[in-house]
Amino acid sequence: AQSVTQLGSHVSVSEGALVLLRCNYSSSVPPYLFWYVQYPNQGLQLLLKYTTGATLVKGINGFEAEFKKSETSFHLTKPSAHMSDAAEYFCAVRGSGGYNKLIFGAGTRLAVHP
Amino acid sequence: DAGVIQSPRHEVTEMGQEVTLRCKPISGHNSLFWYRQTMMRGLELLIYFNNNVPIDDSGMPEDRFSAKMPNASFSTLKIQPSEPRDSAVYFCASSFENSNQPQHFGDGTRLSIL
Protein backbone atom coordinates (compact mmCIF):
# COMPACT_ATOMS: atom_id res chain seq x y z
CA ALA A 1 0.00 0.00 0.00
CA GLN A 2 1.08 3.53 -0.64
CA SER A 3 1.44 6.19 2.05
CA VAL A 4 2.95 9.62 2.57
CA THR A 5 4.35 11.17 5.74
CA GLN A 6 5.04 14.86 5.96
CA LEU A 7 7.24 15.71 8.93
CA GLY A 8 6.11 18.88 10.65
CA SER A 9 2.57 20.15 10.32
CA HIS A 10 3.85 23.72 10.73
CA VAL A 11 7.12 25.24 9.57
CA SER A 12 8.15 28.84 10.14
CA VAL A 13 11.03 30.59 8.38
CA SER A 14 12.30 34.11 7.97
CA GLU A 15 12.02 35.88 4.65
CA GLY A 16 15.14 35.07 2.65
CA ALA A 17 15.89 31.87 4.57
CA LEU A 18 16.00 28.35 3.18
CA VAL A 19 12.71 26.49 2.96
CA LEU A 20 12.81 22.74 3.61
CA LEU A 21 9.60 20.73 3.74
CA ARG A 22 10.00 17.02 4.36
CA CYS A 23 8.16 14.18 2.69
CA ASN A 24 8.70 10.45 3.02
CA TYR A 25 6.71 7.88 1.11
CA SER A 26 6.12 4.19 0.85
CA SER A 27 5.09 2.58 -2.39
CA SER A 28 4.73 -0.94 -3.72
CA VAL A 29 5.14 0.30 -7.29
CA PRO A 30 7.69 2.68 -8.82
CA PRO A 31 6.72 5.96 -7.19
CA TYR A 32 5.34 8.92 -9.02
CA LEU A 33 5.56 11.85 -6.61
CA PHE A 34 3.95 15.27 -6.55
CA TRP A 35 4.05 18.45 -4.50
CA TYR A 36 1.02 20.72 -4.43
CA VAL A 37 0.53 24.15 -2.85
CA GLN A 38 -2.73 25.51 -1.46
CA TYR A 39 -3.22 29.22 -0.88
CA PRO A 40 -6.10 30.39 1.34
CA ASN A 41 -9.53 29.84 -0.17
CA GLN A 42 -8.10 28.18 -3.24
CA GLY A 43 -7.69 24.67 -4.58
CA LEU A 44 -4.44 22.75 -4.79
CA GLN A 45 -1.97 23.79 -7.46
CA LEU A 46 0.78 21.58 -8.82
CA LEU A 47 4.27 22.75 -7.85
CA LEU A 48 6.28 19.92 -9.38
CA LYS A 49 6.27 16.22 -10.09
CA TYR A 50 8.69 13.31 -10.36
CA THR A 51 7.85 10.38 -12.60
CA THR A 52 11.04 9.07 -14.16
CA GLY A 53 14.43 10.42 -15.21
CA ALA A 54 16.30 13.17 -13.41
CA THR A 55 15.92 12.90 -9.66
CA LEU A 56 16.20 16.65 -9.06
CA VAL A 57 12.98 18.23 -10.21
CA LYS A 58 12.43 21.94 -10.62
CA GLY A 59 9.01 23.46 -10.26
CA ILE A 60 7.28 26.79 -10.24
CA ASN A 61 8.08 29.74 -7.98
CA GLY A 62 11.69 28.63 -7.46
CA PHE A 63 10.87 25.36 -5.69
CA GLU A 64 12.64 22.10 -6.34
CA ALA A 65 12.58 18.59 -4.91
CA GLU A 66 14.96 15.66 -5.00
CA PHE A 67 13.83 12.07 -5.26
CA LYS A 68 16.01 9.81 -3.10
CA LYS A 69 15.03 6.20 -3.51
CA SER A 70 17.39 4.92 -0.81
CA GLU A 71 15.81 7.27 1.72
CA THR A 72 12.27 7.02 0.30
CA SER A 73 12.16 10.80 0.45
CA PHE A 74 11.02 13.64 -1.76
CA HIS A 75 11.80 16.80 0.21
CA LEU A 76 10.80 20.20 -1.13
CA THR A 77 13.26 23.10 -0.98
CA LYS A 78 13.56 26.73 -1.95
CA PRO A 79 16.80 28.66 -1.38
CA SER A 80 15.19 31.93 -0.32
CA ALA A 81 11.71 32.24 1.14
CA HIS A 82 9.38 35.01 0.08
CA MET A 83 6.36 36.27 1.95
CA SER A 84 4.17 35.04 -0.87
CA ASP A 85 5.29 31.45 -0.20
CA ALA A 86 3.14 31.31 2.93
CA ALA A 87 0.65 28.53 2.19
CA GLU A 88 -0.05 24.87 2.87
CA TYR A 89 2.01 22.29 0.99
CA PHE A 90 0.97 18.73 0.22
CA CYS A 91 3.12 15.83 -0.88
CA ALA A 92 1.42 13.02 -2.81
CA VAL A 93 2.32 9.61 -4.24
CA ARG A 94 0.62 7.68 -7.00
CA GLY A 95 -1.77 5.09 -5.66
CA SER A 96 -1.88 1.50 -6.84
CA GLY A 97 -4.57 0.20 -9.15
CA GLY A 98 -4.15 2.77 -11.87
CA TYR A 99 -6.61 5.55 -12.71
CA ASN A 100 -4.20 8.18 -11.43
CA LYS A 101 -5.40 8.04 -7.84
CA LEU A 102 -3.13 10.04 -5.51
CA ILE A 103 -2.38 9.44 -1.84
CA PHE A 104 -1.82 12.76 -0.06
CA GLY A 105 0.14 13.59 3.05
CA ALA A 106 -1.44 15.56 5.88
CA GLY A 107 0.09 18.82 4.68
CA THR A 108 2.63 21.30 6.07
CA ARG A 109 1.66 24.88 6.72
CA LEU A 110 4.51 27.25 5.90
CA ALA A 111 4.68 30.62 7.62
CA VAL A 112 7.14 33.27 6.43
CA HIS A 113 7.92 36.16 8.73
CA PRO A 114 9.80 39.39 8.00
CA ASP B 1 -7.47 27.28 -20.78
CA ALA B 2 -10.41 26.88 -18.45
CA GLY B 3 -9.56 24.92 -15.35
CA VAL B 4 -11.83 22.73 -13.28
CA ILE B 5 -14.97 24.70 -12.52
CA GLN B 6 -16.96 24.11 -9.37
CA SER B 7 -20.24 25.62 -8.30
CA PRO B 8 -21.39 27.06 -6.08
CA ARG B 9 -18.30 28.52 -4.38
CA HIS B 10 -20.17 28.86 -1.12
CA GLU B 11 -23.29 27.14 0.19
CA VAL B 12 -25.01 27.73 3.48
CA THR B 13 -28.07 25.68 4.27
CA GLU B 14 -29.96 24.19 7.17
CA MET B 15 -29.56 20.62 8.28
CA GLY B 16 -31.88 18.20 6.60
CA GLN B 17 -31.79 19.99 3.28
CA GLU B 18 -30.49 18.44 0.09
CA VAL B 19 -27.19 19.85 -1.16
CA THR B 20 -25.88 19.45 -4.70
CA LEU B 21 -22.33 20.36 -5.64
CA ARG B 22 -21.32 20.60 -9.27
CA CYS B 23 -18.11 20.12 -11.18
CA LYS B 24 -17.03 20.65 -14.77
CA PRO B 25 -13.69 18.93 -15.44
CA ILE B 26 -11.05 20.11 -17.86
CA SER B 27 -12.01 19.18 -21.40
CA GLY B 28 -10.35 15.95 -22.49
CA HIS B 29 -9.63 14.69 -18.98
CA ASN B 30 -11.16 11.27 -18.38
CA SER B 31 -10.61 10.87 -14.62
CA LEU B 32 -12.53 12.86 -12.03
CA PHE B 33 -12.10 12.93 -8.28
CA TRP B 34 -14.16 14.33 -5.40
CA TYR B 35 -12.38 15.29 -2.16
CA ARG B 36 -13.45 16.70 1.18
CA GLN B 37 -11.15 18.89 3.29
CA THR B 38 -11.61 19.64 6.98
CA MET B 39 -9.29 20.82 9.72
CA MET B 40 -9.77 17.60 11.66
CA ARG B 41 -9.43 15.04 8.88
CA GLY B 42 -7.41 16.87 6.25
CA LEU B 43 -7.93 16.01 2.58
CA GLU B 44 -10.05 12.88 2.01
CA LEU B 45 -10.78 11.20 -1.32
CA LEU B 46 -14.50 10.47 -1.50
CA ILE B 47 -14.96 8.90 -4.91
CA TYR B 48 -13.40 8.84 -8.35
CA PHE B 49 -14.58 8.18 -11.87
CA ASN B 50 -12.85 7.01 -15.00
CA ASN B 51 -14.58 7.52 -18.35
CA ASN B 52 -17.72 8.50 -16.42
CA VAL B 53 -17.82 5.22 -14.49
CA PRO B 54 -17.39 5.21 -10.69
CA ILE B 55 -14.28 3.21 -9.89
CA ASP B 56 -13.95 3.50 -6.13
CA ASP B 57 -16.49 5.02 -3.76
CA SER B 58 -15.01 3.57 -0.58
CA GLY B 59 -14.32 7.07 0.71
CA MET B 60 -17.95 8.13 0.66
CA PRO B 61 -18.78 8.53 4.34
CA GLU B 62 -22.31 7.13 4.30
CA ASP B 63 -25.37 6.55 2.19
CA ARG B 64 -26.40 10.17 2.49
CA PHE B 65 -23.67 10.94 -0.02
CA SER B 66 -24.00 10.11 -3.69
CA ALA B 67 -22.13 11.14 -6.83
CA LYS B 68 -22.89 10.91 -10.51
CA MET B 69 -21.13 11.63 -13.75
CA PRO B 70 -23.74 11.59 -16.53
CA ASN B 71 -21.26 12.71 -19.17
CA ALA B 72 -17.61 13.61 -19.64
CA SER B 73 -18.14 17.28 -18.84
CA PHE B 74 -20.24 17.22 -15.69
CA SER B 75 -20.38 15.60 -12.27
CA THR B 76 -22.44 16.13 -9.14
CA LEU B 77 -21.97 15.29 -5.48
CA LYS B 78 -25.20 15.19 -3.53
CA ILE B 79 -25.82 15.08 0.20
CA GLN B 80 -29.31 14.20 1.34
CA PRO B 81 -30.15 14.87 4.10
CA SER B 82 -27.33 17.17 5.10
CA GLU B 83 -25.95 17.33 8.65
CA PRO B 84 -23.74 19.91 10.42
CA ARG B 85 -20.81 17.46 10.38
CA ASP B 86 -20.85 17.61 6.59
CA SER B 87 -19.56 21.18 6.77
CA ALA B 88 -16.27 21.24 4.87
CA VAL B 89 -14.65 22.38 1.66
CA TYR B 90 -15.37 19.99 -1.20
CA PHE B 91 -12.93 19.84 -4.10
CA CYS B 92 -13.25 18.34 -7.52
CA ALA B 93 -10.15 17.41 -9.52
CA SER B 94 -9.62 15.98 -12.98
CA SER B 95 -6.76 14.43 -14.91
CA PHE B 96 -5.83 12.27 -17.83
CA GLU B 97 -5.90 8.61 -16.99
CA ASN B 98 -2.11 8.13 -17.30
CA SER B 99 -0.67 7.90 -13.81
CA ASN B 100 2.22 10.26 -14.51
CA GLN B 101 -0.20 13.09 -15.09
CA PRO B 102 -1.12 15.45 -12.24
CA GLN B 103 -4.60 16.11 -10.99
CA HIS B 104 -5.94 19.61 -11.56
CA PHE B 105 -8.11 20.99 -8.78
CA GLY B 106 -11.04 23.38 -8.78
CA ASP B 107 -11.30 26.18 -6.23
CA GLY B 108 -13.72 24.18 -4.11
CA THR B 109 -17.16 24.63 -2.61
CA ARG B 110 -17.24 25.81 1.00
CA LEU B 111 -20.27 24.12 2.55
CA SER B 112 -21.77 25.17 5.85
CA ILE B 113 -24.66 23.19 7.33
CA LEU B 114 -26.42 25.03 10.14
Percent of chain A's residues with pLDDT above 90: 76
Q: Pick the residue of A36, A42, A90, A100 with the most B CBs within 10 A to test the interface with B by mutation.
A: A100
In whole angstroms, give the CA distance from residue A4 to residue A89: 13
CB contacts < 8 A (A, B): 58
- pLDDT one-digit tens code per residue, A18-45: 999 999 999 877 889 999 999 988 999 9
In whole angstroms, give the CA distance from residue B103 to residue A35: 11
Percent of chain B's residues with pLDDT above 90: 87
In whole angstroms, give the CA distance from residue A28 to residue A3: 10
Instruction: Round to the nearest angstrom and report the end-to-end CA distance of chain A.
Output: 41
- pLDDT one-digit tens code per residue, B25-36: 999 999 999 999
Q: Are B107 and A41 an interchain contact pair (Cβ–Cβ within 8 Å)? A: yes
On whether any CB of chain B is under 8 Å from the CB of A66, the answer is no
Instruction: Round to the nearest angstrom and report the end-to-end CA distance of chain B.
Output: 36
Among the partner residues A42, A51, A100, nearest to B95 by beta-carbon distance: A100
In whole angstroms, give the CA distance from residue A112 to residue A68: 27
- pLDDT one-digit tens code per residue, B37-81: 998 888 999 999 999 999 999 999 989 999 999 999 999 999 999
In whole angstroms, give the CA distance from residue A24 to residue A6: 6
Residues of B in contact with A106 (CB under 8 A): 42
On whether any CB of chain A is under 8 Å from the CB of B105, the answer is yes
Nearest residue to A18 (alpha-carbon basis) of A76, A77, A65:
A77
CB B29 within 8 A of CB B42: no
Q: Quick one: residue A107, left, alpha or beta (phi over 0 = left, psi -120 to 50 = alpha)?
A: left
